[in-house]
Structure formats: structure tokens, C-alpha cells
Structure 1
Amino acid sequence: MKKTNASRYISMAVSCALLMAGLLASPPAFADSGAPSIEPREIALTDASATLTEEATDGKATTTASDLASGTTVDGSAIVTGQIDVSEFTVAALTWDAGDSLVADNAIYIRVREASGWSDWSSVDALEAPQSDSAGGSDPFISGIATGVQVQVTGDPETLPAGLTLVVAELDSDGSTSTDPRSRAQSADKSATQSGTTSEGRAGIAAGIHPRSDWDGGSAAPTWDEETATLQAAIVHHTAGTNNYAQADVPGIIAGIYYYHAITLGWGDIGYNFLVDKYGGLWEGREGSLDVSADSMVVGGHAYGYNTGTMGVSALGDFTTADPGSGIIDGYATIISYRFDLAGLDARDVSGFTSLSGASLPRIFGHRDVYATECPGYQVYRQLPDLIQRVGAPKISSFIDVPVGTQFYDEIMWLANKEVTTGWLLDNGDREFRPVQPVARDAMAAFLYRLAGSPEYSAPDISLFTDVPTDSQFYKEISWLAEMGISTGWDMGDGTKQFRPLESVARDAMAAFLYRYADVVLNEDVASFVPDAISPFSDIDTDNQFYRQISWLADEKISTGWPVGDLFEFRGLEPVNRDAMAAFMYRLVNR
């Protein structure tokens, strides 16, 4: 196969020349000596006709099977570079020409020489291009300060894309990786736009998020038109690499990712809205992500087809097998909670987005749910259900009598966000939920009707109950409840029925309501449930009127009752308080 020698070192001066020729976007002007500066080095692995260069196969003759990525061979690899010496860097990646792509057999592996020696090989996924005319590229590979790099790409050389290039974001000799950004205040010349100028931005900085200026030393204004969209979900990512970086390396790593996304790939800015490092550092990424209005997010470039209405939060490192530790998971939770609280989003709701398989996605999901990738790594992905519960309801209470930390706070906020309850509006504009007030039967009817999505329904002209006039506040909801068979009321023996709307709902009746709701609204096969011969509650006999429904409630873990010694009591005749009702309905829907 023909080979060409195309190694090229691109200095900032050469970058400007290429810009004049239309080959590169405007390079960033990292003006602040206290922030990292990037000198990109590019090493061609295939040329414009997809022909391998000499550098692409320099390592084949001297590399043994033990020196390659696990499970690969020299003969099965299109590319095995030599061990390339470079100046200090923390970010590397592969790119290729727009309109071209890797095939399934072209797996990318990178390893680097850090202070401790050569790292293990890491698999690096391909990125999704935000538009069809964008250059192709891999995920950014990050590391501690490294001075050597080696690349392996498996598969047939004939399948490689044109313009396949190793990009190394070298730190220039005046870089400041030893500077801890946590000790630096913002100054007016660090970036085109200062973060924290809005109440939303100040709230983010108060939550511990580093503004963009702590890694961006004055890059040129973004070359994209900023778009915002109503925030609906957070997509969790990781990068790739060795996870061996030091805390002081982080600003340089983010600056390197910025250069790769914004300049090398031509995206105009870093793709992620926010980033998290393994030390628990929280960082603003794409410009405007801190200061955007409360219910919105700047449209990023992190998940093709899913950028609008989401925020991309990426951990620095590879967590396919490595434990992310509390720093990463706490960081995800802090950043997502900050923006979800502002937007009034409950993490436990569905997002409106669907996965590759067509499944409905929650408000927090992984990149792998919407693209064929390992991202955010199994060790992060397996913790997303816990992260969803941890973020939970927005920590801005809808009710003045339900402060954060109240028992069933999350469940009450979920009920409010679902518009199942509005509480009581006070003269001063505040609202009360009155959590320890018993639930009246008419209010229970309204709760269940709204929980069902307020379905279209026309109430009868003549009331089904003698004590519920047609002009009653919840006449429609009570009639719906009766016609659905969820409540039968009391047979008065003379052909009439009473609903007793202002009476409190007893716990045993609540069990019956939820059991029937699961049957007729959720379409669950409750009829197949077989209650135990021994009651789950010491105060509920097996011949109790609602024994079946109460047992089902316990079996579904909707109610656990009260522990009394080694036993549990249900207290079926006690009234259900409004806070407990919120918990019951939440558990019913979110089992």
C-alpha cells in the first residue's frame, strides 16, 4: 500500500494561515496567562484519499501481541503507530473528513505515556457529528500530563476514512496547569462573557460550579448562534482516558476539550453544558449554561438528535470499569439538582424523550440510551436509578407549610408538579398544602381524577348520590370515580346512595380506592393477586371487609404500616392525612 509522510506540527501562526485558507475555524485567543493555552499538534494517519501514512504503521514492525490492546492482533489492525513523543498534553483524539466514517470493525484504542509510564490501552468511541457537514471524530481521550501517545485502529485498511488524524492538544510552554482555579477570582478579560450575571448564574456559582472563566482564558466569541430551549432532561456522559489526571490538570483538560470540539471539529464551542472532575470539581462548559433562564438550557452538542431540551453533563474520565467514586456522583447530583430546581422539574418523571428501542426515558438518562456507545460507562450508568431518586423533586417548595426536609416532601412536590394538587391559595399569593390535615372524600376523588390525567368525561345531569348536588365543587370528579367503579358510596337501602364527600377517607377505604384504580385506570391484573392466609398486619383479620385490598397494598409496598414490636399495624379505621396520601399515590404510580 502506498504511504505518504504527513506529520505536521500546527503552531498558532500556521493555524492562522490555515484559517485564511478556510481550513480551520478561528483559533481561541487564550489571553490570560493564568489560564491554560493550547498548541494543537496534528499527525495524519490517512491522507485525503484514505491512503495510510508512514506514521500510521510505524509501530507494526516492532510491536508484539502483548503490546497491543487486549484481544487484538497486529495483522488485524489497520493502524499501529509508533510511540510518538509530543510536548505535554492532557487531551488527544482522532478526527476524519466530513461525510466519511469508521465501520464497525474499526475500533479505536489510545494509550499515553504519563509520569508513571505507559498507560493501558483504552477503547475510544466515535462521536456523533452535530450536523452532516461536520468533521467526524472520536470522544476526547483525557489523561494526566502526558508526553507520549500511541494509537491502534483495528480492521481492514481499505475501510478507513479519509483524513484520519491524531489530534494532540499540547499545552504551550506558558500554560498554567499548576494554577488551582479555585483560588482565582474572575477578571474582566478572561472570557467574552462573564458568568454569574443573572440570578440563575449566581445560584450555580453558589452551588459550587466554576464559571467558564476558570478554564477559558479569553477564547474568541463562539462561532455559533446561541439557542435555548425549555429544559426537559439531563444526559449523563463520560469522556475516555486514564483517569490519572491531577486536580491542577483539570482547567487544561477542559480547555483541550474546548479546542477539540470548537476548533478542530468546528462546533464553535465545547459540546457539554457542564463537566465534573473526579475530585468533585464542577465546571460550566458551553457558554451561557449558568446564566440561561430558569426553565431553559443552552442547546449543546453532546447527543445528536437530543441536544435540544437537554443539558449534557460529562464526567472527566472513563468509567466503563472504574468506580466513579463519590466525587463524580455527587457532582452529577449537584449540577442536575441546581438546574432542575430552577426549572421546577421532578427527576422521577418521564422526560418526553424515547430511547433507541422506543422506550420512554426518565428525566436523567445516559448517552448510551440514545446512541450506540458505552458512554457514560457501566459503573456510572448502573447508578442512574439512584441518581434519579437522589435528585428527586425540585428543592423549591410549592407550599409555605412544606419546607424542604419535611417527611414526604418529595412525594408532595411530585403531586404538585403533576398538578394533582394545588393546595390552598392565601390572600398574599402563597399556597398551603396542609399536610397533616385528613383527606376528605371529595378531595380524594379530585386527586385520583387528576392522577389519571383528567380524562375527558361528562358528568350526568342527575347526581348518582343524594348528598352530592350537581353544582358541588368536585361533582364531576366524584361522578367519574363512581362510574369508573372506584367508589360505590353507601347504599341507603331505599334505592339511593350517599357519597359523604366531607368525611375523611379511612385507611381501609383508601386501600380499596387504590386497588380499584390500579385495576380500571392502570389496567393491572389485580384479580390474580392471592392474599396470604396470614395477615401482613396484626390489626387486620383475614375476614376484614377490605382484607384483599389491604394485603395487595402491602404486597406492592405502597403501605408498610406502623411497626409495633415485631409486628406491623395498618390502622384501617384511622383517617389518611394529605401528606400520607401523596406518598401512597406516588408509590402507586412509581412502583
Structure 2
Amino acid sequence: MSKIRGMRRYGFLASSIGVTCAAGLALVPGVLAGAAAAAAPAAPATTAGAAPATGPVTGPAAVPGSTQSLPLAPRAAGRTRGRAVGAALEQGLRRADVRHFSLVGVVWDNPATELHGSVQIRTRSAATGTWSDWQDVDTHNTDHGADPGTAERTGGHIRGATAPLWVGDSDGVDLRVRADTGDRTDDTAAEPPVPLPSGLRLELVDPGDTPGEDGPQTDQPRTGDLSEAATAASAANSGLAPLGATEIPALDRADTERELLDLRGDELTDAQRAEPHIGARPRIVTRRGWGADESLRSPGFVYTKKAKAAFVHHTATGNNYRCSQTPSVIRSIYRYHVKSMGWRDIGYNFLVDKCGTVYEGRAGGVAKAVLGAHTMGFNSNSVGIAVIGTYSRSKPSSAAVKAVARLAAWKLGLYGMNPRGKTYLKSGGGNLYGKGKNVHLNVISGHRDGFATDCPGRKLYAKLGTIRSTAARYQGR
């Protein structure tokens, strides 16, 4: 194991990871801006060739994309599971005159209300004009989101929602939402059905056309068209990549150890300095690389103290996407989380596609402890890693599993965490653990370990043991 005492070869952003900002400021822009300014470290040194992160780089920065929000209407009474269904228990719409969209979801007024029933959709391909088969939309999405009591959760913008579903370029939609009426045929004995939530709306998301079907362009950083918000998001990775970069390059093990010393050297013990346990930093496509419209999110960044654990998720968006489409899928999820669900930013800290490419999620800096909205009750001091796709019945690719392990080995290694170990996290409140309870969790856990949910899907959850052992090996343990 290489020794790194006293090494300072690269000018990485020093001591910025430990910056703490109260989670309660998440949706208070004026307070948040002040808090972010107060928490900002001194101007960092930059790597060779990196543009200094001082001042906004202005210019045109419009990113295409849109959301069509369509109210649902009661559908004619029918029968399901052998029982009569009244119009109030089934809603939907059929439209063949909508603008192009690629991702769908259903939202409703109260985020605390669950949708007890089914959501099915079919869409018309814009390329061929043919209608798809009916597809199920995952209705259990209340397990994601900001912790109870935080400003992001209580700011009055949050809506209940299904998971988003990627359907590809479409121009027609047919939707039906049915309340769960139970399996019994004896109406007198059956429990009354739970009504559908109020304010049901279908969200049709167009991700826009940039950076394009060929994926992110990573040859040269582009700074001439950065808005102020885009400049801030890029500058949060200062020292790791030049301002405006579309990717943060991979490092080998030795250079990652030197980076660790520059990032957290003052907090390392002599033993950690002599033999650091950290995996080599993987290549990470930045928000700039996947084409994030930084004007959508709330301003500023919110940090927690550290990253003691990683929660693995699946996005439940389906597996019918090409890896070249991943930037479009992420832009769609981002827009759905912010514009449709009312979150301050995309919920996950990182996303991984089925080809094993790692993408930056919530803004604030990939090496910093950014507060996400991925595991309700356990967002503080944790990182959310989402594999793009649905893995309840389908196995995740080996490339995705390996990428999650590499990412966890690096990110958790920045905070001295053993991927095969256990840690305590204090619950912020959820359906498994009450607020304030200290919970003993695996350092690499699945979403379902902190909240009663199917996420990250049975097939991906079964890979967590492999991810833990592989990540530990990458750390040299």
C-alpha cells in the first residue's frame, strides 16, 4: 500500500467535504443562499489547466424540455376482479394530440396519501405510430423523498407521485388508474375500497435534445454558455475537474490516495495516512455532461456532515432504454422530481446506467456530503446511488453492479467507511423506524433496509453482498 504522508502533488479542494448546512434550509432560497455563502470554503486551488471557479460564466444556457400536466377524469363504471367499479374508483384519459414526450408519471395533491390501486399506461410511438402494450407504473413512490419535518418536505410544493416510467419518444397516451377493490366477490363481506387520491394528474415529460443521442461530449470543457446556476453547480466540483467540464476523469489508486489527503488530510489518523482504504475514483459524468437545466432546481446547495452509508436504489423507470439515451432518461427523472413532484433537485446523489457509467446526481459536488432525497428518514449522513432501470424481476447487468461497487469504494472511502461494515444512522422518521431512533445498518444497504419498500428490487437487492465484498476489495481491505 503506498504511503501518502505529506504528499501534496495535486491542488484538490481542501477540507470542503466536512462543510455542514442545516437540512431545514432546503427550500428557503434567501436563507439557503446566505447559508451556502457562509459555508463556502476559501477559493480553492485548481488542477493544471482548470479554469478558476470565481464568478459566473454567462451566456445562452437554455436546455430544451417541457412537462405537460393533464388532469384525469372519471372513467365509465366497469368491473374488475369480479366486482363492480364505480366511476369515482377509476380515472384516466386518452389523448392522441399531445406534444412529444418520453417519460410518464402520475401525481396527486397530498404527498402523505398512498395510491391503493393500479396505474397502467400505453403510449403511441412517435416514430411508427403504433401503440404499445399496457404497462404497469410503480405506484409505491412515497418511500423516496426528503425527511419528515425538513423544509424540502414541508415547503408546500411536494406532491404524491408514482415512480416515473421511461416510454421513449411518444405522441399519444392512454391511461387508466383503478382503486384497489380487493379480491373478494362477496360485496357485503369485502372491505370498502380506498378512494383514489385527490388531484390526480398525468405528467408527460420531454427531456429535450441535448446533449444528444450520442451521449455526453467529454472532449473539452465548455464555459462560454454557462449560466450563473450552472457555474455554481460546476464549481462545486472545483479541483476535481475544470469549470464547465462534462466529466470528472477516473484516477488510479495512488492519485486517489493523494486526493484523499488533500480533501480530508486534517481529519485522518496517522494509520489512515500511512494506509488509506479508498477505492480508485471512477469516471463520473457531471450534471453538465448529462445536460441538466440548472434553472429548474432550487438555488444553493445543502450539505450534511459525512457519508457514513450508501443506500442502493433502482429508479423503477423500466429497462427499455439504450445507454446512449441515459442523459435523456436522467434529465427526465430530474424534471419529474422537480417540476412534477416538487423536490428541490433530483433526489439521488448518483445514478448508474446498465453499461456501468456513473452520473452525478443532486448538485453540490460529488466529493462532498450533499443532502439528498432518496431514502426517507435516512438522507442525513448517507449517499443515494440509483441504478437506472427496474430490477424486481430482471437482473442488473454485471457492469452496473461493478460500477456501484467502484463508486461506493471511492465515496465511502473518503470518510473511512468499510463497505463490509456496519454503522449507526439516526432516523428522521419513516414507516420502519421512528424519528430519533439510532438504527444499526450495513454501510452499504438497500433502500428497503431503511424504509418498507420493494426498492431496489429483489434482483438488485440480492447483489448487495457482492457489491459489499467487491467494494471492500477495491479499498484494499
**For this structure pair, what is the TM-score category when the shorter chain's length is used for normalisation?**
0.5 to 0.7
Change (3 A) 1:89 1:345: same
Q: 1:170 aligns with which of 206, 227, 232?
A: 206
In the other structure, the counterpart of 1:373 is: 453
Q: 1:106 aligns with which of 107, 111, 117?
A: 117
Change (3 A) 1:30 1:179: farther
Distance of 2:59 and 2:388 partners within structure 1? 22
Change (3 A) 1:123 1:92: closer
Structure 1 residue 218 displacement after superposition: 4.4
Is structure 2 residue 470 aligned with structure 1 residue 390?
Answer: yes
Please provide the CA RMSD for this pair.
3.4
In the other structure, the counterpart of 1:57 is: 75
**What is the DSSP-based 3-state SS (H/G/I as helix, E as strand, rest coil) of the residue aligned with 2:99?**
strand
| Contact 1:200-1:290 within 8 A present in 2 as well | no
Is structure 2 residue 300 aligned with structure 1 residue 256?
Answer: no
| Contact 1:186-1:213 within 8 A present in 2 as well | no
Structure 1: gaps spanning 5 or more residues? 1-28, 46-52, 66-70, 396-403, 405-409, 411-591
In the other structure, the counterpart of 2:178 is: 154
Equivalent AA in structure 2 for residue 368 of structure 1: R
In the other structure, the counterpart of 2:68 is: 41
In the other structure, the counterpart of 1:6 is: none
CA deviation string 1:553-576 (max 9, x = no partner): xxxxxxxxxxxxxxxxxxxxxxxx
**What is the DSSP-based 3-state SS (H/G/I as helix, E as strand, rest coil) of the residue aligned with 1:168?**
strand
**What is the DSSP-based 3-state SS (H/G/I as helix, E as strand, rest coil) of the residue aligned with 1:167?**
strand
Is structure 2 residue 298 aligned with structure 1 residue 246?
Answer: no
**What is the DSSP-based 3-state SS (H/G/I as helix, E as strand, rest coil) of the residue aligned with 2:359?**
strand
Q: 2:364 aligns with which of 285, 288, 292?
A: 288
| Contact 1:234-1:365 within 8 A present in 2 as well | yes
5 Å-filtered alignment, 1:155-304, equals 155=179, 159-172=195-208, 175-188=210-223, 189-190=225-226, 191-192=230-231, 193-194=233-234, 196-199=237-240, 205-206=249-250, 207-220=282-295, 222-223=298-299, 225-292=301-368, 297-304=369-376
Higher-RCO chain (CA-CA 8 Å, sequence separation at least 6): 2
CA deviation string 1:452-502 (max 9, x = no partner): xxxxxxxxxxxxxxxxxxxxxxxxxxxxxxxxxxxxxxxxxxxxxxxxxxx
Distance of 2:97 and 2:402 partners within structure 1? 37
Q: 1:136 aligns with which of 160, 165, 171?
A: 160
Distance of 1:200 and 1:338 partners within structure 2? 16
CA deviation string 1:499-519 (max 9, x = no partner): xxxxxxxxxxxxxxxxxxxxx
In the other structure, the counterpart of 1:556 is: none
CA deviation string 1:151-178 (max 9, x = no partner): 3323168712222111111245x55532
5 Å-filtered alignment, 1:327-342, equals 327-342=399-414
In the other structure, the counterpart of 1:486 is: none
Equivalent AA in structure 2 for residue 164 of structure 1: L
Distance of 2:351 and 2:328 partners within structure 1? 13
| Contact 2:319-2:389 within 8 A present in 1 as well | yes
Distance of 1:316 and 1:265 partners within structure 2? 19
CA deviation string 1:228-273 (max 9, x = no partner): 3211100111112331112232112111111121232222211110
Distance of 2:397 and 2:307 partners within structure 1? 27
5 Å-filtered alignment, 1:338-487, equals 338-353=410-425, 356=432, 360-392=440-472, 395=475, 404=476, 410=477
Figure out how many residues of one structure are paired with residues of the other and give that number: 344
In the other structure, the counterpart of 1:477 is: none
**What is the DSSP-based 3-state SS (H/G/I as helix, E as strand, rest coil) of the residue aligned with 1:302?**
coil
5 Å-filtered alignment, 1:499-510, equals none
Distance of 2:134 and 2:392 partners within structure 1? 14
CA deviation string 1:85-120 (max 9, x = no partner): 5433332211111365135x3333444445685145
CA deviation string 1:16-65 (max 9, x = no partner): xxxxxxxxxxxxx99547xx6211101112xxxxxxx2xx528x78xx98
**What is the DSSP-based 3-state SS (H/G/I as helix, E as strand, rest coil) of the residue aligned with 1:230?**
coil
CA deviation string 1:536-564 (max 9, x = no partner): xxxxxxxxxxxxxxxxxxxxxxxxxxxxx
How does the TM-score come out when normalised to structure 1?
A: 0.52
Q: 1:145 aligns with which of 142, 145, 169?
A: 169
Change (3 A) 1:281 1:150: farther
Distance of 1:109 and 1:169 partners within structure 2? 17
| Contact 2:420-2:442 within 8 A present in 1 as well | yes
Structure 1 residue 372 displacement after superposition: 2.6
Structure 1 residue 308 displacement after superposition: 0.5
In the other structure, the counterpart of 1:307 is: 379
In the other structure, the counterpart of 1:468 is: none
Compare CA radii of gyration and give the structure with the larger one. 1
In the other structure, the counterpart of 1:127 is: 142
Distance of 1:345 and 1:204 partners within structure 2? 22
Identity of aligned residues (%): 27
Change (3 A) 1:175 1:144: same
Distance of 1:200 and 1:184 partners within structure 2? 13
| Contact 1:346-1:394 within 8 A present in 2 as well | no
Equivalent AA in structure 2 for residue 97 of structure 1: D
Change (3 A) 1:149 1:335: farther
| Contact 1:269-1:287 within 8 A present in 2 as well | yes
Equivalent AA in structure 2 for residue 198 of structure 1: G
Structure 2: gaps spanning 5 or more residues? 1-57, 147-152, 181-192, 251-281
Distance of 2:419 and 2:85 partners within structure 1? 49
| Contact 1:238-1:317 within 8 A present in 2 as well | yes
| Contact 1:88-1:171 within 8 A present in 2 as well | no
**What is the DSSP-based 3-state SS (H/G/I as helix, E as strand, rest coil) of the residue aligned with 1:241?**
coil
Distance of 1:327 and 1:30 partners within structure 2? 38
Distance of 2:59 and 2:197 partners within structure 1? 32
| Contact 2:163-2:317 within 8 A present in 1 as well | no
Equivalent AA in structure 2 for residue 205 of structure 1: P
| Contact 2:298-2:345 within 8 A present in 1 as well | yes
Is structure 2 residue 120 aligned with structure 1 residue 93?
Answer: no
Change (3 A) 1:140 1:30: farther
Change (3 A) 1:345 1:269: same
Change (3 A) 1:99 1:356: closer
Change (3 A) 1:349 1:238: same
In the other structure, the counterpart of 1:79 is: 91
